[in-house]
Amino acid sequence: MKFKTAITNIQTDGTEIIRGHNLADLIANKTFVETIFLILKGHLPTSEQTKMMNAIFTAIIDHGPATSSAMNARISASAKNDLHTSVAAGLLGLGGRHGVVVEPAMKFFYDHVDESDIVALLKNMKERKEYASGFGHKIFAVDPRTQALFKIAKETGIYGQYATFAQKIEIGLNSISSKKLPLNVDGAIAAILCDMGFDARIGNGIFVIARVPGLVAHIVEEITNDEGIRRLTPEDIEYIGTTSV
């Protein structure tokens, strides 16, 4: 079985090359964020791109124990699973309503950035029960992470047509919606990644990379506190089936 790869070449003399760069040189001279950019994008980032990527990873490193990913991770850890098993359980808690919406948001931005009538587009989507990913939040009326990321995107010169388009979508959505739908951090990241020319298929991977440290922290806290296995109490369960007589 053979693989063709342009990612990593490990040689018998101990040399390891990643995307054309000697790993020893990367270890000595580059940050983790720069090396992540390199392995995903194929080239090293500029200083502006490095600052932007660092901000993105920081913005979504954790969002509290109430998220489905953190809950999954902590429940798994409370059952005495190994750390890597609990991390996997946490990642399996990501889905279309939490975490892995960066890719579809990027696809939407790439496909519709030249749309002239945004409100008409959104109304047509609503009629078909289709919705733009990256908008809305359970708690925030305005997502502070979005504001922080766009501030850095403007400072670094990365803020471009896709970030502008995302904010136009936010305005359009809120002109036809009965509830507040802020551009959330996932949508902001999607727009910024588009402005940096990332392939949409990498989008969800960015979220996964960023969130793993947060999951590890929750798991270690759960193990340290050791309050026993997490489970629902009988009072939390409402039986709606039939009762035999």
According to the model, what pLDDT value does residue 245 have?
Answer: 64
- Return d(Cα 94, Cα 83) in angstroms, integer: 17
Question: For residue 145, what are the contacts with CB-CB under 8 A and spacing of at least 6?
Answer: 59, 60, 184, 185, 188
DSSP assignment of 8-67: EEE-TTS-EEETTEEHHHHHHH--HHHHHHHHHHSSPPPHHHHHHHHHHHHHTS---TTS
Closest to 86 measured CA to CA, from 219, 226, 220, 227:
219
According to the model, what pLDDT value does residue 215 have?
Answer: 98
pLDDT tens-place string over residues 202-217:
999 999 999 999 999 9
Q: Give residue 142's pLDDT band: very low, low, confident or very high (50, 70, 90).
A: confident
Q: With 80 as the cut, is the pLDDT of residue 159 above it?
A: yes
More confident residue, 72 or 178: 72
Instruction: For residues 185-212, give the mean pLDDT.
Output: 97
- Return d(Cα 21, Cα 145) in angstroms, integer: 33
More confident residue, 127 or 221: 221
Q: With 80 as the cut, is the pLDDT of residue 41 above it?
A: yes
Closest to 36 measured CA to CA, from 187, 195, 190, 207:
207
pTM of the model: 0.92
Q: Which domains does the chain have, with CATH numbers?
A: 61-228 (1.10.230.10)
